[in-house]
Chain A
């Protein structure tokens, strides 16, 4: 069964460093997403991406964050200068259809630890 894959599973970084989280969405999906979950809290939407541009973003997704689809298969989330409060699980998701609450398929997540 097709699945969303994320790498690495765990990333440890120093405050102020740049990190890139990688995702390979399901191959025939056109819509891509990043969410995060701070330990013990809700899953929060960060950004959605379609047709090589951001279609929607949350207040969390500030100038420190960027997304890119560098090739036909990968979808990345970059945090330019990490802060302690960026420590969280980051989930990538993809879907066949876009707006309106369509089913999104999630990867297993990358645990980001900022020291």
Chain B
């Protein structure tokens, strides 16, 4: 798989349920970020986790990072219809300016 592959590609849940999205990557990273993109709009930064961190929380978001497995997960608890969007992981590596984005997970939260 390429750097930054998310699964599932699409996820449909009921409002109030939790949503879990996974991201895998191939190279060593400095950090991993999650972004949200509402349909046809720009990317909004959600959370950043550094390579020496294993878990991070921000409001209803929980991110884990397993550098031995080169994987991360994003958990959104108590989902709301407004959480409907595409979610992308993006990796940053030392000495590079670019973020490498995954293919994204499309989340649909049904009211």
Measured between alpha carbons, how far is A33 from B97 in the docked complex, in Å? 9
- The answer, yes or no, to whether A113 is at the interface (CB within 8 Å) is no
- The answer, yes or no, to whether A31 is at the interface (CB within 8 Å) is yes
Q: Give the number of residue pairs across the A-B interface with Cβ within 8 Å.
A: 74
B30 and A109 contact, CB distance less than 8 A: no
Q: Interface residue tally of chain A, by bracket?
A: 20 to 34
B98 and A45 contact, CB distance less than 8 A: yes
B42 and A107 contact, CB distance less than 8 A: yes
Taking CB atoms, residues of chain A closer than 8 Å to B22 are none
Q: Which of B88, B91, B104 contacts A101 (CB 8 A)?
A: B91
A76 → chain B closest CB, angstroms? 17
- The answer, yes or no, to whether A100 is at the interface (CB within 8 Å) is yes
Residues of B within 8 A of A (CB): 4, 29-33, 35, 40-45, 48, 88, 90-104
